[in-house]
Amino acid sequence: MIIYIIAAIYILINIFLLRKIFIWIDAVIGLKTKKKEENINKVSGKFYKIIAFATYLFIFLSPLFAVVIKGEYNRFFKIISNYWIGIFIITLVIVLLKTVILFIIKRFNPDIYNDINEKPLLVGLVLTTVIIVVAVYGFYNAKDIKTVAYEVNIDKKINLNNKATDKSNLRVALIADTHFGYSIGYEEMKETVDIINKHNVDLVVVAGDIFDNAYEAMDNPQAIIDEFNRLKSTYGTYACFGNHDIPEYLLSGFTVQGNGKYLRDDRFNDFFKKANINLLEDKSVLIDKSFYLIGRKDPSMSHKLKETRLDAMSIVKDNVKDSDSYIPIIVIDHQPNDLENLAKAGVDVTLSGHTHDGQIFPGNILMKFLWKNPHGIKQFDRMQSIVTSGVGLWGPPIRIGTHSEVMILDIKNK
User: pLDDT tens digit string along 74-119?
Assistant: 889 999 999 999 999 999 999 999 999 999 999 999 999 999 888 8
Mean pLDDT of 202-229: 96
In the predicted structure, residue 247 carries a pLDDT above the cut 50? yes
Least confident of 30-44, 165-179, 203-217, 333-347: 30-44
pLDDT band of residue 387 (cuts 50, 70, 90) is very high
Mean pLDDT of 31-50: 60
Quick check: 376 and 123 in contact, CB under 8 A? no
In the predicted structure, residue 171 carries a pLDDT above the cut 50? yes
Burial 315-332 (b: 16+ CB within 10 A, else e): bbeebbeeeeeebbbbbb
What residues does 130 pair with on adjacent strands? none
Cβ of 22: how many Cβ atoms within 10 Å? 15
Backbone angles phi, psi at 375, to 5 degrees: -170, 145
For 82, 159, 290, 308, the CA distances from 162, given in Å and listed in that order, are 45, 9, 9, 35
In the predicted structure, residue 32 carries a pLDDT above the cut 60? no
Mean pLDDT of 295-308: 95
The per-residue pLDDT for 35 is 46
In the predicted structure, residue 41 carries a pLDDT above the cut 60? no
Mean pLDDT of 350-366: 96
The per-residue pLDDT for 326 is 94
Find the farthest-apart pair of alpha carbons in the chain and give their distance in angstroms, rounded.
94
Burial 240-250 (b: 16+ CB within 10 A, else e): bbbbbbbbbeb
Mean pLDDT of 302-331: 95
Nearest to residue 327, comparing CAs of 383, 379, 289, 294? 289
Q: Which amino acid is at 106?
A: K
Cis? peptide before 396, omega within 30° of 0: no
Least confident of 174-188, 199-213, 241-255, 385-399: 241-255
The per-residue pLDDT for 20 is 83
In the predicted structure, residue 279 carries a pLDDT above the cut 60? yes
> pTM of the full predicted structure?
0.91
What residues does 254 pair with on adjacent strands? 251
